[in-house]
Structure 1
Amino acid sequence: MNNELFELLLLNQIDVLKEKMVNLANSTGMNSYETLRCSQELDHLLNLHMKHNSNKNILRDIS
């Protein structure tokens, strides 16, 4: 999978989880298990995105 496609898929998943987390927080509360679990999943995807961008910048700087 090329880098651009990976980034687009990752950003799409981040957007989907953001919306899901807001909906969960509105329906089950900010501190519910479901909301917190979704927040953890979102954190994981955001960390992947940051790592991907960091690696992309390192490769660009080397070239």
Structure 2
Amino acid sequence: MKTAILSSDSDSDMKLLIELANKLGIKTKILSKEDAEDLAMVYLIEDAKTGEYVDTEDFINNLRK
């Protein structure tokens, strides 16, 4: 399974892409802004894993900056 994430400021362009994907038998799903932010956070966390211990309090404080 392959996944692509597309983003556009143009509603008409996005609608066209979704229609094309559906005609090609590709499943589509519109993400809310919160879902997209959660997905980006998961990607960043996975990418930044080092296997080293990180103090939770320091980590949360750095996120809030």
What TM-score does the superposition give when structure 1 sets the normalisation length?
0.32
Highest RCO, 1 vs 2 (Cα 8 Å, sep ≥ 6): 1
Which has more radius of gyration? 2
Q: Which structure shows the bigger proportion of residues in helix conformation?
A: 1
